[in-house]
Amino acid sequence: MRFVDSSVFVHALLKPSRRLKTHEAEIKEGAKNILSRIEEGEEAVTTVVHVSEVANILESRMHLEDAWRMLSALVSMRGISLAGVTGDAYRAAIQASNVLGLGVNDGLAYATMMGGGVREIYSFDKHFDQLPEIRRITL
């Protein structure tokens, strides 16, 4: 099982407003491939906080109905598990973020992974490369 960072969903789902540079197009294609595998049943996990992060971005850049449709498809993918987040878990994420020098939601991803025995993350955020015990995957 791998954790799915919000960056994967955002890159896969957002329609670009301009022609993408080669490396940007490769990231978008990689993100779409990751989601296709999860839809086909590859087991993955994300948190409701990360889905909310995606929702905020989608809702700010498209019609609400389109965002709802995409979010509904996202949370219904065959291989995706949605981890709930308690207040205690979020407080722990804030502490982890402080120690590791991360944003809070990235700290939440790390804490969720460590707590669930997950050691690989689908993400396009390079700062995950610096975390102990984590392997970032982009393909």
Q: Provide the β-strand partners of residue 47.
A: 83
Instruction: Give this prediction's pTM.
Output: 0.94
CB 134 within 8 A of CB 119: yes
Residue 12 in tokens: 């896969």
Residue 8 has pLDDT above 90, yes or no: yes
How do residues 51-69 score in pLDDT, each as one tens digit? 999 999 999 999 999 999 9
Structure tokens at 15: 């329609």
Domains and CATH numbers, the chain: 2-137 (3.40.50.1010)
